[in-house]
A and B are shown apart, each in its own frame.
Chain A
Amino acid sequence: MIDKVTRLEDLGSLVSDGDSVALGGGWFANHPMAAVRQLVRNGTQDLRVITVVGSIDIDLLVGAGVVSHLEFSMVTLEAFGLAPNVRRAIEGGLIGFTEYTGLGLLIALEAQGRGVPYLPYRGPFGSDIPAHYPEIYQSVQCPFTGEELTAVRALQPDVTIVHALRCDAEGNAQWDGTSGPDIEMARAARRLIVTCEEIVPRSTIVETAHMTKVPGFYVDAVIEAPFGAHPTSHVPSYAMDAWQIAEYAEAANGEGFAQFVDQLRDESEAEYRSRVLGGDRDRVLRALAEQAVTLEVRP
């Protein structure tokens, strides 16, 4: 059977300088962080990065000089503040940007996945965003009812990288918790890279086929990356590492950011894991997810 398994260290052969790269995950959930770190290590440059709701993934790439243009509907470190590197880069005119509306971006990816040049929808009426991007948003009239709709143009990333729970060698990829925009990004891509917590035999995928959200024919490369979403979450396996994100925010807001990036560059992903997840941290992050509390509704 076809074997698409690739090493994280070989990511450079799949992502070239100047590519447009869509990154999956949303909020502080399930960003393909192992791949993000590898792009930093590789010194990849001039990427046109696409994110729906980005956080530390995007801020790190921008701060490390990997990105020349950002397409996004939101980037935030939430409780830890605005994304400092993204702010500096856009306010200082250091990178270009395209601010999409959130559904506009998802539907642009969906259009590409369906093979149509655009899709109509009940769009961002009254928003100032579409007027800035006539090459993306146009008004169209429904041919049946005459209703005014928004047309959003299909968007094809050169590469999409998403992080899954598990995957087999053919690339049949499963999610359990948050998949966010991953499926639309996967279907729209020219090349699709799936990183995953674990590579498993086909029989495991077959037994749990209802969890497969991206079948293997979409996939070009499969990379095993345990804790590959860290410090963002991969629920239900582990929670976000808020302590690591706080350290990141402190470095990115202060003098220590260059050192933070150098440290990532000088270590392999395995070394990163043993440095950051040492002690009890991996077990605490798993316990935070496992023991999260639900409350009983009164009968």
Chain B
Amino acid sequence: MSDYEVHELMVARVAAEVDDDGVVVMGSFTPLAYAAYMLAKLTHAPDSFLVGFDAVGMQPIQLSFTGAEAAAYKGAVCRWGMLTEVNSIHLSNRGGVEAVSSAQFDGEGAINLSVIGDFDKPKVRLPGGAGAAEVIKMYRKMVAYFGNHNSRTLVDKVGFVTGTRWKVDAEARAAAGLQPGPIVVVTNLGVLVRDDAQPFRVESVHPGVDVETIVENTGFELRVPDSVPETTVPTDEELQLLRNSIDPFGTVKFDFVSGKDRLAYLKGVLDREWKRAEASLQ
């Protein structure tokens, strides 16, 4: 199958990290992460335990900007609140996989969602990290995804540490009472993995990308094995599920549309969501 777009490849690769072990928590509607968890649950990880918004043990859902939250509750077995979720899942070491994105990310697994420039008088005030500061150290696998792999985002050292993996290699994690597990970075160019005291290793390059491009566009040190394989491309089944069942409105692609076209694309998705709901009123 060659007829895939890069956001679909990224969804499939993030999905591959999801397994039946531990609890996956999603928080607000982040389309690529949601799509990956749904794809995993519909294919290789049917017993993965998902939490989205305050919907605990949710069924997979069809993605939409306006309907994702309501869909999450429809198939859920339990309704909690934010604090119960983080106490019961993250802080008690029951977190399995969690995918994050951020304005900056570095080779130590630190993310910046706070500021560009001075903390008290910033050049750019970013949204803030919500629970990231506490939780990204806690779950077993940290997946970080970036739709635009460049050295302004993947930096040598983040300008401000909102949150961090804190301990990376298995021994240090175990000594600190944390579950051992890797950091997996999935971008539009390739996949980087780190699970020891060494720098990130280039695990794979996406078809058509060479390793040099990844190295040039990464601000932190990389280990490049002699031979770097290509990332597995999505199967026909995965593409069918994504396009027809999970994301028929095209919410995931939104984050891959840049500049001027972005608002028009979003309005197009919202138009289709409105029309389907409106048609149901007849």
Contact = CB atoms under 8 A, between A and B. Distances in A.
A121 to B, nearest CB: 6
Interface string A175-219: 111111111100000000000000000000000000001000000
A213 B121 CA distance: 40
A58 to B, nearest CB: 11
Interface residues of A, number: 74
A239 B86 CA distance: 25
Contacts of B122: 90-91
Interface stretch (B72-80, B200-208, B216-224): B72-80
A29 interface: yes
B54 A74 contact: no
Contact of B28 (A27, A110, A213): A27
A289 B132 CA distance: 28
A274 interface: no
Q: Which of B28, B75, B281 has the most CB of A within 10 A?
A: B28
Contacts, number: 230
B183 interface: no
A13 interface: no
Contact of A298 (B29, B46, B270): B46
A233 B73 CA distance: 13
B81 interface: yes
Contacts of B53: 27, 29, 177-178, 235
Nearest to B73: A177
A243 interface: yes
Contact of B130 (A102, A233, A283, A288): A102
Given A128-B161, A184-B83, A288-B273, 18 more contacts: A72-B128, A73-B131, A74-B127, A79-B65, A90-B125, A102-B131, A104-B134, A107-B83, A122-B91, A122-B134, A126-B161, A147-B177, A177-B54, A180-B54, A180-B81, A184-B81, A284-B281, A294-B59
Interface of B: 27-29, 38, 41-42, 46, 53-55, 58-62, 64-71, 73-75, 79, 81-83, 86, 90-91, 110, 113-114, 119, 121-135, 137-138, 160-164, 166, 177, 245-246, 254, 263, 266-267, 270, 273-274, 276-278, 280-281
19 contacts: A27-B27, A29-B53, A52-B82, A52-B130, A74-B130, A76-B128, A103-B90, A106-B82, A126-B110, A126-B164, A128-B162, A184-B83, A239-B67, A240-B69, A288-B66, A292-B70, A293-B71, A297-B46, A298-B42
The 10 closest A-B pairs by CB, nearest first: A102-B131, A292-B71, A124-B133, A101-B133, A76-B127, A292-B67, A293-B62, A292-B70, A27-B28, A74-B128
